[in-house]
Chains A and B, each alone.
Chain A
Amino acid sequence: MSCAESLRLQAYFDGELDAPGALEIEAHLEQCPACRALLQDLEQLRVAIRRELAPAVPAALRARIARRLDQEPAAGALPPPAPRSWSRRPFWLGALGGAGGSALAATLLFLVLSPSLGSVLLDELVAAHVRSLMPAHLIDVESTDQHTVKPWFSGHADVSPVVADFAAQGYRLVGGRADYLDRQRAAVVVYQHGAHVINVFSWSERGGLSQQTTRNGYHLLFWKNGDVQYCAVSDAGWDELAKLVRLLQQQATRDNPH
């Protein structure tokens, strides 16, 4: 039944043939019904495997791994000589030597006072941010126009966040995305600031968090507006993040003056 060319056909399907080889197989396909049927099988099987047999990482595992990694000494810090021990310290100790001293104080205060904020949520936020930086994951709706992004959320997320473009101030709106967070469909507004991507997550939250912290090297800045909880996540500096937050808060006041 199967043709002598079936292995080469498979290589063709897998993109493993050079151009002359591919041309030969294409010519062969014209006259070989067995190979045409095999090619169709290969295509259908691939689609079915990717659709049915590609399990995603359970959120609990992702969170458990992030927690576990936080307990590890910094990667590559196999017995570091004393003068170079900075690599074992949390990065923000070095980063916040000067201007960010108050931010450091706030971070420490937050870590001491607020053990109730689930570390699972922090892990979810950082994981979602990191995932968004992978190719094709950053945005679901691409637009610099708030009037395109905002209505998109009404069908895709459980909250309606503040959306505005602040290109003039250096924060360009690039689009929106829906992420699953804290068991809800969170709305994510994505900004580009210089080389940094800033994800602004929003979801509905009865309590309310208004703090800042650092996780796996990313900054997380929380604030609350009405029933909507916001969190900006980025590797941009604290001051840069805080500026965007101020712009968003001012915009919220303009949107909703009472």
Chain B
Amino acid sequence: MRFEAQVMPHLDAAYRFARWLVRSSADAEDIVQESILRAYRGFDALRGTDAKSWLLTIVRNCHATAHRQQQRRAAVPLPEESDTEHGYAMTATTPDPQHASIERDEERAFEQLLSQLSAEHREVLALRELEEMSYRDIATLTRLPIGTVMSRLARARAALKELWLTQTQGEPGVVR
């Protein structure tokens, strides 16, 4: 019955993952809050499974739900890269004004880079590089064959490297 001890240590992971999925911090916050609530209410279902994978799966499902609702509401279909941008930011709080401008700059850089990656690439990169999940766990979470995970990961890495190269031209040393 120790939700705080078993699940809350993965709050950072949930937020990072959500942030990579949706690209706007307000949407990510809403998804994370909703996910933690769902996790809390369904804590009995955890039983022995890995708490982090379990929580990230919930984050992924929450995102998918919000995404579908957004699509249903949209009168005109939006292109894939912009359709997760709006919709579930209703409960976002106003950030502290003192920190807001610094945060906004960082956020813009973050969004800019990630917005150029496909959703599939963002997902697999976040799970592997940030959450350090095994191929098998990623395959389970994303319901993909392992071979697809591997090839998608390779393409995602190549794509991000290209982006980083173009973005950091003139400031060598980040990624060659």
Contact = CB atoms under 8 A, between A and B. Distances in A.
Interface stretch (B3-11, B55-63, B64-72, B76-84): B3-11
B144 interface: no
A68 interface: yes
Interface string A43-81: 011101110111111101110110011001011101000
A160 to B, nearest CB: 27
A60 B93 contact: yes
A48 B16 contact: no
Interface string A29-46: 000000000001110111
A10 B153 contact: yes
Contact of B113 (A53, A60, A76): A53
B54 interface: no
B93 A64 contact: yes
Nearest to B37: A68
Given A6-B154, A7-B151, A45-B157, A61 B44 contact: no
Interface in B132-147: 134-135
Nearest to A57: B15
Contact of A216 (B4, B32, B95, B129): B4
B176 A44 contact: yes
B116 interface: no
A7 to B, nearest CB: 6
A178 to B, nearest CB: 18
Contacts of B20: 53
A55 B154 contact: no
A65 B175 contact: no
A10 B33 contact: no
Residue of A40, A52, A62, A131 with most partner-chain B CB within 10 A: A52
A55 B16 contact: yes
B5 A14 contact: no
A50 to B, nearest CB: 7
A68 B143 CA distance: 31
Contact of B130 (A50, A65, A216): A50
Nearest to B107: A55
Interface of B: 1-5, 8-9, 11-12, 15-16, 19-20, 25, 29, 32-33, 36-37, 40-41, 43-44, 93, 95-96, 110, 113-114, 125, 128-130, 134-135, 150-151, 153-154, 157, 160-161, 164, 174-176
Please give me the 5 A-B residue pairs with the lowest Cβ-Cβ distance, nearest first. Answer: A75-B43, A57-B15, A49-B129, A76-B44, A134-B9
12 contacts: A10-B154, A14-B153, A45-B129, A52-B174, A53-B110, A53-B113, A55-B15, A55-B19, A57-B15, A72-B41, A130-B4, A216-B4
